[in-house]
Amino acid sequence: MATRSHQEFAAELKPTWCPGCGDYGVLSCMFKAMAELDLAPENVALITGIGCSSRVAGFVNTYGFNAVHGRALPMALGVKMANPNLTVLAAGGDGDGFAIGGGHIPHIARKNLDITYIVMDNQNYGLTKGQASPTSMLSYEAGTTPYGTIEMPLNPIALALTYGATFVARAYSSNVKETTELIAKGITHPGFAFLQILSPCPVFNKVDTFKAFSTRIQPMPEGWDPANRLAALTLALTEEKVHLGIFYQVQAPTYEARWADLRAKSKAEGHASLEALVQRYL
């Protein structure tokens, strides 16, 4: 049973998001999930990129780092490999994660690095005043697209499934209990956990609002099998409603485990360790 309070994870720096931002709900769920898992703040690292949601690193009482735009995942990889005992989370928004940072997701997924990636998706670039993002709906009107965007939106769940993530889920910031549970399950999953959290922007996005989501969201189909990747991909590509929950989850060796096996094999065969090679050329 957890002995920690979720307040233990709240930093002295208070959130600076706009009133009503969905990210407040996500932050609260992160606090609750880490407390329920009884994680020690000093054993957790939260790595973020740039954007409204990426500010979250400063609001959480753990180790934190703001990487440059779109580079949360490679930075998280470095942190995890430097200290595999840390619980490492990466977080950011749809612009940070799926535009400039989109090229990093497939490589973290195929490595199956043991981190949790939380993407707070508000379907726009909120920090820079609401421009269309990779997940904005077709015809989304903003300052840079006054006649509506002509680009089709990305499908984050389908992308994560195709890339080979071993845990793929979707949550909604207003559903505190369910979102907390999904974050906790993502953290405890041994491997790359991808979690899209719908987090409406009440200031700039007047389409994907809390009211709109309240009529579109629904739980996963009855009897859903999260081990069926093809069924998960089919649902992600054909869903008329927005399903919440775990689309897919399987167990597979992590990158860290494979790396440890490789080092053990190298040592057993008498090869010089990386540390020895470094010392040789100092």
What DSSP line would sit under the chain, residue for residue?
-----GGGGB-SSPP-PPTT-THHHHHHHHHHHHHHTT--GGGEEEEE-SSTGGGGGGGBSSEEEE-STT-HHHHHHHHHHH-TTSEEEEEEEHHIIIIITGGGHHHHHHHT-S-EEEEEE-SSBTTTTSB--TTSPTT--BTTBTT---SPPP-HHHHHHHHT-SEEEEEETT-HHHHHHHHHHHHHSSS-EEEEEE---TTT-SSS-HHHHHTTEEEPPTT--TT-HHHHHHHHHH-SSEEEEEEEE-----HHHHHHHHHHHHHHTTPPPHHHHHHHT-
> Over the stretch 113-151, which tens digit does the pLDDT of each residue have?
999 999 999 999 999 999 999 999 999 999 889 999 999
CA 60/CA 7 separation, integer angstroms: 10
How far is CA 117 from each of CA 7, 63, 144, rounded to the nearest angstrom?
22, 16, 29
Q: pTM of the entire structure? A: 0.94
pLDDT surpassing 60 at residue 67? yes
Per-residue pLDDT, 12: 93
Per-residue pLDDT, 268: 77
Contact of 59 with 10, CB cutoff 8 Å = yes
What's the whole-number mean pLDDT along residues 215-225? 96
Instruction: Tell which CATH architecture fits domain 6-251.
Output: 3-Layer(aba) Sandwich (3.40)
**In terms of pLDDT, which residue wins out, 262 or 88?**
88
Average pLDDT, the chain: 94
Per-residue pLDDT, 276: 74
Q: Which long-range contacts (CB under 8 A, 24 or more apart) does 216-223 make?
A: 216/241, 216/242, 217/172, 217/175, 217/241, 217/242, 217/243, 217/244, 218/242, 218/243, 218/244, 219/243, 219/244, 219/245, 220/244, 220/245, 220/246, 220/247
- Please provide the distance, in angstroms rounded to a whole number, between the alpha carbons at the two ends of the chain: 49
Contact of 37 with 4, CB cutoff 8 Å = no
What's the whole-number mean pLDDT along residues 88-101? 96
Q: Where are the domains of the chain?
A: 6-251, 254-282
What's the whole-number mean pLDDT along residues 251-264? 91
